[in-house]
Amino acid sequence: MIPAPALKRLESPADLELLRAQGAPALALRQAEAAPLGEAGEIHVLVCGDTGCRANKCLPTRQALEQSVATHGLAGRVKVVQVGCFGFCRVGPVVVVEPGGTFYCEVRPKDVPEIVLEHIMGGRPVKRLLYAPTPNERGQYETRQHIPFYQRQYRSVLRNCGLIDPENVVEAVGSGRYFALAKALTELTPDQVVDELKQSGLRGRGGAGFPTGKKWEMAKATPGDVKYVICNADEGDPGAFMDRSVLEGDPHAVLEAMTIAGYAIGAQQGYIYVRAEYPLAVQRLQLAIAQARSLGLLGSDILGTGFSFDLDIRLGAGAFVCGEETALIESIEGKRGQPRTKPPFPSTAGLWDKPTLNNNVETYANVGDIILKGADWYRSVGTEKSPGTKVFALAGQIVNTGLVEVPMGTPLREIIFGMGGGVPKGKAFKAAQIGGPSGGCIPTHLLDTPVEFDSLPPLGAMMGSGGLIVMDETSCMVDVAKYFLKFIQDESCGKCPPCRIGTKRMLEILERITQGKGTLADIDDLERLSRGIRAGSLCGLGNSAPNPVLSTLRYFRDEYVAHVVEHRCPAGRCTALTEYRIDPLRCKGCAVCARNCPVDAISGEVKSPFHIDPALCIKCGACSDVCKFDAVIH
Amino acid sequence: MSCSTCQGITANDPRFAQLDAMMEGIKGESGALISVLHKAQQLFGYLPEEVQEHVAESMQIPTSEVYGVVTFYNLFSTEPMGQFPVNVCLGTACYVRGADRVLARLKSELGIELGEVTADGLFSLESCRCIGACSLAPVITIGDEVHGKVTEHDVPRLVAQARQMAAAAQNGAQVATVGAGSDVA
């Protein structure tokens, strides 16, 4: 970490170039194809250090590496570097040795001596720590380029995540950050900046896909001495974490883009509204802002061009609705986050009733490269109507959980089965929920749909922020719909009765259905209520609240009918409709189920079939999870 | 060490002075209420009436406005929390991977419901909507520590570990090594 006061103010773009020269060699080393030099060469050991890997306990691994490097007297030649997310969270903590890019998975402190002695000192990669989807493939995948998870990705927004130390601004500049700002300030007029963005076809990555250039144009066109630029970093959609990853892995990308936005629309102040649930992202943003200020990349007279712009962070406090732009504005003003009536739109009257531009993190993360490399470059990736890439967060019942960045238009099947590795434990794929609580589910027969902004709405789903939750045969789609309705019900701000009360009634109906007490008329009521809520709510939260219900009804109506007519939950998830018993023919009498039952409902003699007492059973499913012989039936 | 959040708050509580210093620093800044409340909750552990009234008075806004904001946002609590707030992520990814079972096990292990505190003041139980560690679902946090890929079977061990840390802290022992690196198989 470079302490902020040590940074000298950059007075011109030429100074920025000098700073790049300081940062670039380290990055060149980390991107070198193979280890070219002999023993004397410098080595960088990259360790993932974002929230996901910290939950995976990456810190002890990093400490062990630092200690081992010091113990062996390698400190001058070997540098242990904390970087942002590699994206392949399932195999974390990830350690990459550069140059050469040897990719080690699930590295624990006990594995560290071997990496240092064998690889770093001996030049022999440690095969047992390489990525191996099956034990037979051990040693086949030495670098990222070999691993299927990475092969079909196009990392543009995430290009610095897993490459630079996010706490080191010299590395950020070394990677080219702030050169788009320098170009905009010295070579382009505000109109040209807006034009370039419009030409690029960039669309908002926060959900609706509104053309970003148009948004900038509207904010620019509104007259006013005081305008604001906002970054929506309130990534509330459960299951999406790409914005967190960008903020934690490459915060300067966002700072730079917001400053460019300030220049383009004529604003001098920006706010990053970030969720308090992301403490590490907040910390890295604070540091990045302090560094940018001391370098004169934020504040007055940026790079000696006379342009001034500054940024502050505003913390959320746990309200999903604050992802809606007008609710977010209310929250920045320190109020309850309730949406405003539109129009006026924020571009006319937003924060403190001033013209305001609001984009989300991933959108901003695209801006720098568009300004630097041009709209044509940007349009060369993705589709005609949705240019560029999209980051998807893979989670749920999928083998390779993590973040992938792919060109727009990549089929869902490719993302889930190609990169994601499909569904674990040999279970069958059922659906992918895309777009969070506002989105919908995509069933098996639509998996070849190319994912872009306009391909999903006809299917009853939406891109949303790119959270992709995979569900297998054990997920009950009625239960999933109930889950989302519960979420919406909890998070409805209460301003509009259709959203506040309508979702409550829908939730009650879904609760009845999952308890086997529903009727077919209930299903009709769900559809009727959905139409009313959609038409009668002020903001996107209410408008889209019925989506998960409508979408599951569209593709999995048979599951609803099974609950209502047969009082049966086909997936065995709804506990009121499920009974657990042990198949005496399959049970080997190993007693594992009985040991794991939290309520001692299972009894029997070892080596003879066990029995579940239905009166005691709480239907938690623990027995079914631990049984190695699939003898627990439900 | 006694639980700092379980004691009554008097008008001359030194924490008010700390809060005042923070408010003084941002005087004149618009829209600062939420930042002030974050600071207050960090100092007091929760936002009881006395604290809300103090904030209202200092910022010269109605207490009702402060109360309105406090009760709107999930992260603000008007009830004391335990020394180790346990937070179960109920985001979609965690949910489909069985977070509800982890929550059920935590309830039985701690003997409390959501929003309650154990009698010894050690643990409180809350749920949240996604902390963004979805690839390690299900995720829970105990104190500041994030635990990934948690199953209901891990719950007793994680709770015991936190108890150990609390006991060690009480004995004035070094706690830094407990818990680190020992979980997530």
Q: What is the DSSP string of A482-538?
A: HHHHHHHHHH--SSSHHHHHHHHHHHHHHHHHHTT---HHHHHHHHHHHHHHHHH-S
Percent of chain A scoring above 90 in pLDDT: 83
- How much is the mean pLDDT over chain B? 86
Whether B129 contacts chain A with CB within 8 A? yes
**Nearest-CA distance A466 → chain B (Å):** 13
- At residue A405, φ and ψ (nearest 5 deg) are -120, 125
For residue A88, the tally of other CB atoms under 10 A from its CB is 24
> Is beta strand A440-443 parallel, antiparallel or unpaired with respect to A429-434?
antiparallel
Type and span of the H or E element at A613? none
User: pLDDT value at position B153?
Assistant: 87
Question: Which of A85, A442, A512, A401 lies closest to B97, judged by CA?
Answer: A401
Q: In sequence order, what are the residues at sequence separation of 6 or more whose Cβ sits closer than 8 angstroms to the Cβ of residue A301?
A: A307, A308
**Nearest-CA distance B171 → chain A (Å):** 25
Task: Please state, in angstroms and rounded to a whole number, the distance separating the CA atoms of residues A562 and A230.
Answer: 47
CA of B88: how far to CAs of A419, A578, B146, in Å?
29, 25, 10
φ/ψ region of A607 (left if φ > 0, alpha if ψ in -120 to 50, else beta) reads left
Q: Please name the member of B74, B152, B181 whose beta carbon is closest to the beta carbon of A319.
A: B74
Fill in the DSSP letter of residue A291.
Answer: H
Type and span of the H or E element at B165? helix B155-170
> Is beta strand A95-98 parallel, antiparallel or unpaired with respect to A102-104?
antiparallel
Residues forming a β-bridge with A81: A46
User: pLDDT value at position A456?
Assistant: 94
User: pLDDT value at position A86?
Assistant: 93
Whether B75 contacts chain A with CB within 8 A? yes
Task: Please state, in angstroms and rounded to a whole number, the distance separating the CA atoms of residues A510 and A522.
Answer: 8
Per the CB < 8 A criterion, the answer to whether A232 and A280 are in contact is: no
User: pLDDT value at position A40?
Assistant: 61
Task: Please state, in angstroms and rounded to a whole number, the distance separating the CA atoms of residues A342 and A330.
Answer: 13
Question: Which of A96, A128, A122 lies closest to A110, judged by CA?
Answer: A128
Per the CB < 8 A criterion, the answer to whether A489 and A519 are in contact is: no
Supply A64's token pair. Answer: 């062990």
Q: Report CB contact under 8 Å: A333, B152.
A: no
> Is beta strand B145-147 parallel, antiparallel or unpaired with respect to A389-396?
unpaired
| Mean pLDDT across A507-522 | 96
Query: Searching chain B, which residue's CA lies closest to the CA of residue A329?
Result: B31
User: pLDDT value at position B7?
Assistant: 54
**pLDDT band at residue B129 under the 50/70/90 scheme:** confident
User: pLDDT value at position A4?
Assistant: 46
- How much is the mean pLDDT over chain A? 93
Supply A238's token pair. Answer: 């459960």
User: pLDDT value at position B174?
Assistant: 46
Residues forming a β-bridge with A633: A581
**Nearest-CA distance A325 → chain B (Å):** 16
Task: Please state, in angstroms and rounded to a whole number, the distance separating the CA atoms of residues A472 and A495.
Answer: 36
pLDDT for A136 beyond 90: no
pLDDT for A512 beyond 50: yes
| Mean pLDDT across A442-464 | 94
First to last CA, chain A: 54
Count CA within 13 A, CB hemisphere, residue A247.
29
Q: Report CB contact under 8 Å: B34, A315.
A: yes
Question: Chain B residues with CB inside 8 Å of A484's CB?
Answer: 92
Task: Please state, in angstroms and rounded to a whole number, the distance separating the CA atoms of residues A458 and A97.
Answer: 46
**Nearest-CA distance B12 → chain A (Å):** 27
Question: Chain B residues with CB inside 8 Å of A332's CB?
Answer: 31
User: pLDDT value at position A35?
Assistant: 54
For residue A494, the tally of other CB atoms under 10 A from its CB is 12
Task: Please state, in angstroms and rounded to a whole number, the distance separating the CA atoms of residues A420 and A404.
Answer: 9
Across A373-377, B77-81, B174-178, least confident range: B174-178
Supply A569's token pair. Answer: 């939950």
**pLDDT band at residue A620 under the 50/70/90 scheme:** confident
pLDDT for A408 beyond 60: yes
**Nearest-CA distance A6 → chain B (Å):** 25
**Nearest-CA distance A427 → chain B (Å):** 13
Per the CB < 8 A criterion, the answer to whether A100 and A80 are in contact is: no
Mutate to test the interface with B, among A53, A465, A469 (most CBs of B within 10 A): A469
Return the C-alpha torsion angle A201, A206, A207, A211, nearest 10.
Answer: -20
First to last CA, chain B: 32
Whether B168 contacts chain A with CB within 8 A? no
Q: Which stretches of A125-279 are assigned E, i.e. beta strand? A: 228-233, 269-274
User: pLDDT value at position B4?
Assistant: 45
Mutate to test the interface with A, among B29, B70, B72, B126 (most CBs of A within 10 A): B72
**ipTM associated with this complex:** 0.89
| Mean pLDDT across A292-318 | 97
pTM for this prediction: 0.92
Query: Searching chain A, which residue's CA lies closest to the CA of residue B109?
Result: A598
Q: In sequence order, what are the residues at sequence separation of 6 or more whose Cβ sits closer than 8 angstroms to the Cβ of residue B80?
A: B5, B6, B45, B46, B48, B117, B121, B124
Q: Report CB contact under 8 Å: A401, B135.
A: yes
| Mean pLDDT across A411-419 | 96
Question: Chain A residues with CB inside 8 Å of B128's CB?
Answer: 277, 318
Query: Searching chain A, which residue's CA lies closest to the CA of residue B38?
Result: A317
Q: Please name the member of A90, A276, A618 whose beta carbon is closest to the beta carbon of B38.
A: A276
Whether the bond between B138 and the residue before it is cis, its omega within 30 degrees of 0, is yes
Residues forming a β-bridge with A270: A229, A311
- Highest mean pLDDT range out of A32-46, A233-247, A362-376? A362-376
Question: Chain B residues with CB inside 8 Å of A314's CB?
Answer: 31, 34-35
Number of CB pairs, chain A paired with chain B, less than 8 A apart: 167
Reported as a single tens digit per residue, the pLDDT across B133-142 is: 888 899 999 9
| Mean pLDDT across B134-152 | 90
Query: Searching chain A, which residue's CA lies closest to the CA of residue B154?
Result: A596
Fill in the DSSP letter of residue A368.
Answer: H
User: pLDDT value at position A34?
Assistant: 60
**Nearest-CA distance A394 → chain B (Å):** 7
Type and span of the H or E element at B123? strand B123-128
Q: Report CB contact under 8 Å: A317, B134.
A: no
Q: Report CB contact under 8 Å: A55, B139.
A: yes
Mutate to test the interface with A, among B29, B65, B92 (most CBs of A within 10 A): B92
| Mean pLDDT across A246-250 | 97
Reported as a single tens digit per residue, the pLDDT across A43-75 is: 999 999 888 888 888 999 999 999 999 999 999
| Mean pLDDT across B130-134 | 86
**pLDDT band at residue B183 under the 50/70/90 scheme:** very low
Task: Please state, in angstroms and rounded to a whole number, the distance separating the CA atoms of residues A493 and A328.
Answer: 12
